[in-house]
Chain A
């Protein structure tokens, strides 16, 4: 390594050698590695528990509202697209587009969480909770009539824990996205330095990907 190269490396306060990726991006990838294991625990447990007592799980669509959630899934995928657009805009130096698409992402993300809250309230109202049926509820009557499984405790446990933790991750993502959006409105991101936008984007796509997995195995299978 010659002197000139060494000097260049010393000059900036952040010497990004190593992976050839700046630290925030590398850090986010590393953190997402941890998140993969976290969701693996929840999904793996779901698979084991479902194989262990298949009779405790209702057929798709019997308890969960698939159409509403399908629309919600579509929304979340759209938000991944607006995120990509926001990143493309900032790379092109299009500040207006950046702001527009970040706001759109925040709004769609918030809508997703709101629909999920609405879904939970609806399910609770009809008598489906993490602890199974509510006595005397609509679902409990259906179960007594034989239209639903007699007991759904483990179904409720896994459904609410998995989707709940995903919803928590989306909520955290929206909070961080609001922070990035505020910084975007302050003009902090430029065509050459837009680390915040890229890093939150990585997280956002990850959360989106997890949802596609969850929607498939929890709602459709």
Chain B
């Protein structure tokens, strides 16, 4: 063999800072921390756009007769003479859901914190495949670009709802949208590739790159939940990609998968979509649960109550998530006996979910509670998740579902789990790890103000939606004033809309706090929250390659108030007398 060593493309393990151009360092970066921050900025933008769309929806529902303020800024095809057009309203409803699910909550949870936390928390220099990681970000970026492009094409954006039920989506005659619909499907297929590559990376990293001593049952719950979520992403996303490609072919090359007149089956779409869609629900909540566990243990200065049962609960939720998809289709005309089995399997999920809720309460019970901003948001997560979980039991009961399906009750339910749940957890996670990411503290006072106002306006917005739903208010309708039986609910609708506008407005506090702290915030110490995780042992922000030398782990991540040491925390890598190794 030749003696000259060829340059091997090895992962830069703890390598000293090598000179990288600006572009390689901050744009086409392979550093998991930079990629995490790139995902953060991209998905916060998605969150903002999804929010703006919600505001337009709320304007139309709260003030159907009024002329939309600033409506003249939008083109005639969207808002004509101050009136939000029904076709555009359908696109808004579709794209609000699409952006919030695929370009806000999912990348915020999986893309941002999967990337940022996994290597740091397991003591690895980077992901197992850093270059693949870079690709998965840029593929997602392209996917989002294609999705945005749909707003600018003739016929407007997809208007078939985020669930894209055939034949509404497959037959352009029903919505009048051709190109926008195809761009939606193309974007989702491309985004799917990004997610699958990311999940492959996360799983390999957690299995193979854990630091010495970081056994499975010493992993922080955030890493456990991200690991299980990655498995769900890996197995659920190809189902959506396959289905989206079939639907795209129906519109482009004349196949008839979902066309009943040519031997296809529209209901097949529903099965495929929800076979992806229900695991997706847990993709959108499990990482939130994991990160909240970390924050609550920190804020309570106590070990997580029932650490092992937390893990088994995550695993059983993930498993049960695969056998309950039919509960989204109770009213699709399926056999009622089958509906019964889906109802029972769905109810089972309440068991592991309740285990988690009681464990969070057990963690806080008699803790030395510190209500820093992340803790406030984490506790709000638990409370809101309970409400969302309980309304889920209503939806899961087939007889009740006959009455409340496709009403504002389901809208209230999804927002209690996705906003009250995932987004509050994200506020907790972002404020908790912001000092590590940017090396600056966020402003504590404005963090509290943002939390308090968000919590109040959030509940004022979404709680009354339960009432609307029980009153028979259909979801996705354009103009409730057209229905006599909805007339008495007009006041509630207006109340919700005003609350929603306030909710959106107070998010500006968060945005400003985020941006201003980035430049002007107090410099963050290495370990501002006195936490035990490995990420807090390195500088804020951590250097390229993370750890100067690979840490050795001696214990789990939740040794708060340990009698072995004077401080009330005990980092995972601190060696005490009697520790092996």
Q: Which residues of A contact B (CB under 8 A)?
A: 1-3, 5-6, 9-10, 13-19, 21-23, 26-27, 30-31, 33-35, 37-38, 40-42, 45, 48-49, 52-53, 56, 129-132, 151, 153-158, 160-161, 165, 186-188, 190
Contacts and interface: CB of A to CB of B under 8 A. Distances in A.
Contacts of B239: 37-38, 40-41
A38 B204 contact: no
Nearest to A155: B263
A30 B203 contact: yes
Chain A residues touching B, majority SS? helix
A160 B256 CA distance: 12
A162 to B, nearest CB: 10
Interface in B44-103: none
Given A131-B256, A151-B263, A157-B249, A13 B268 contact: no
A48 B268 contact: yes
B128 A23 contact: yes
A41 B265 contact: no
Given A33-B234, A49-B268, A131-B253, A1 B208 contact: no
B110 to A, nearest CB: 15
Interface residues of B, number: 52
A190 B8 CA distance: 13
Contacts of B171: none
Contact of A26 (B207, B263, B581): B207
Given A9-B550, A48-B268, A161-B249, A1 B209 contact: no
Contacts of A156: 255
Most buried by A among B10, B209, B250: B209
Contacts of A15: 13, 208-209, 211-212, 550
A183 B43 CA distance: 38
Interface in B224-274: 234-239, 241-243, 245-246, 249-250, 253-257, 259, 262-265, 268, 272
B11 interface: yes
Contact of B212 (A6, A16, A151): A6
Contacts of B527: none
A129 B253 CA distance: 9
A48 B253 CA distance: 21
A13 B124 CA distance: 10
Contact of A9 (B6, B201, B212, B237): B212
A82 B254 CA distance: 39
B196 interface: yes
A169 B549 CA distance: 41
Nearest to B272: A41
Contact of B264 (A1, A41, A154, A160): A154
Given A18-B208, A23-B208, A130 B253 contact: yes
Contacts of B246: 41-42, 45, 161
A153 B265 CA distance: 12
B552 interface: yes
A15 B208 CA distance: 7
A116 to B, nearest CB: 17
Most buried by A among B201, B210, B213, B242: B242
A45 B257 contact: yes
B243 A6 contact: no
Interface in B2-28: 2, 6, 10-13
Interface string B546-581: 000110100000000000000000000000000011
A26 B255 contact: no
22 contacts: A1-B213, A6-B581, A9-B550, A16-B208, A18-B210, A21-B208, A26-B208, A27-B201, A30-B203, A30-B204, A31-B196, A31-B200, A34-B234, A38-B238, A42-B246, A49-B265, A130-B249, A131-B255, A153-B256, A155-B263, A157-B249, A161-B245
